[in-house]
Every structure is written in structure tokens, then in C-alpha cells.
């Protein structure tokens, strides 16, 4: 597909974030199963729910543009997922707290990719005056920001219940 216009780029990037979200969903569920801290497990399950919501939002947006999402694989996320799997699942940890800390680090790398993706895609939608799309994309961006803040607080040792929604 030739990318000649901002709309072409916008639709191409929707496919990228769709592929990325599917990959992040799988590894997030895997990390939730590997986590030992109950607050971290709950945060990852909540994160997976948010990612699933993002996938549904992207499908709605795509349908509104008569665009198919299949066929693309986000190579950048593919590498981050492989790294997360290597550092969380394949490594041996003597302490569960250290594995949990590694899970937080890897999950935040994944979330930061989502924040960047949703951020610029929402900006493109704004330039293209796609009001319905903007609303859905900003919701996805807000969820990603919330997940990032929760993980930062968990990394700092905060386990107060208000951080886990």
C-alpha cells in the first residue's frame, strides 16, 4: 500500500497499533500469571482488560473507515514482547519480588509504546477532523497513561488499594 496522504498514514498506523495491542495482550496475560504480588497481578489483569478495550476501539474505528486490520505485524512490538518473555519467563529468579520488579519494568516498556502510538494516532485523527476516532483514541491513551502510573507506584513499593482500579 502506498502512503500518499495523512489519511493513508493514519490508517496504516491503526493497523500497527492493532497488531501491537494484540501482542501486548498476550504477554500481559502471561506476565499476570507469572507475577506473585497480588497487587501486581490485579494491575496486569486490569491492564489486559484495558488493552482488550483498545483492540475493540481500533476495530470500531477501522470499520468506520471500511479498512481491514489484518495483514500487518508490528515488528517493534514483536521485539519488545520477545525481550519481555526472555527477561520474565525464561530467567530464573531467586526472589519473587525481583521477578515482579522485572515484570513491572517490561510492562512499562510495552505501555510506553502504546502511549506513543495512541498519542500520535489521536493527533493525526485531530488533524483529519475525525471526532469520533479522536474520542476513542484518547480513551485508549488515558487507559495507557493510567496503567503506566499504576506500575510506577508499584515499582516504588506503593500497594495502597486506590492505585489499582
Give the CB-side neighbour count of residue 78, counting CA atoms within 13 A. Answer: 6
Q: Supply the pTM of this predicted model.
A: 0.91
Question: For every one of its 165 residues, what pLDDT tens digit does the chain have, with 9 covering 90 and above?
Answer: 688 999 999 999 999 999 999 999 999 999 999 999 999 999 999 999 999 999 999 999 999 999 888 767 788 888 999 999 999 988 888 899 999 999 999 999 999 999 999 999 999 999 999 999 999 999 999 999 999 999 999 999 887 645 555
Domain boundaries, the chain: 6-163
Closest CA to 76 of 34, 47, 36, 114: 114
**What's the topology of domain 6-163?**
Ferritin (1.20.1260)
Amino acid at each position: 500500500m502506498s502512503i500518499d496522504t495523512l489519511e493513508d498514514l493514519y490508517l496504516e498506523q491503526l493497523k500497527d497499533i492493532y497488531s501491537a495491542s494484540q501482542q501486548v495482550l498476550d504477554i500481559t496475560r502471561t506476565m499476570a500469571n507469572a507475577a506473585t504480588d497480588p497487587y501486581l497481578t490485579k494491575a496486569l489483569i486490569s491492564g489486559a482488560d484495558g488493552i482488550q478495550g483498545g483492540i475493540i476501539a481500533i476495530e470500531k474505528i477501522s470499520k468506520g473507515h471500511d479498512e481491514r486490520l489484518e495483514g500487518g505485524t508490528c515488528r517493534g512490538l514483536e521485539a519488545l514482547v520477545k525481550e519481555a518473555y526472555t527477561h520474565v519467563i525464561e530467567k530464573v529468579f531467586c526472589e519473587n519480588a525481583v521477578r515482579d520488579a522485572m515484570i513491572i519494568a517490561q510492562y512499562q516498556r510495552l505501555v510506553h509504546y502504546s502511549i506513543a502510538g495512541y498519542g500520535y494516532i489521536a493527533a493525526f485523527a485531530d488533524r483529519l477532523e475525525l471526532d469520533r476516532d479522536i474520542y476513542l483514541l484518547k480513551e485508549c491513551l488515558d487507559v495507557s497513561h493510567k496503567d503506566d502510573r499504576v506500575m510506577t507506584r508499584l515499582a516504588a513499593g506503593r500497594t495502597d488499594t486506590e492505585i489499582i482500579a
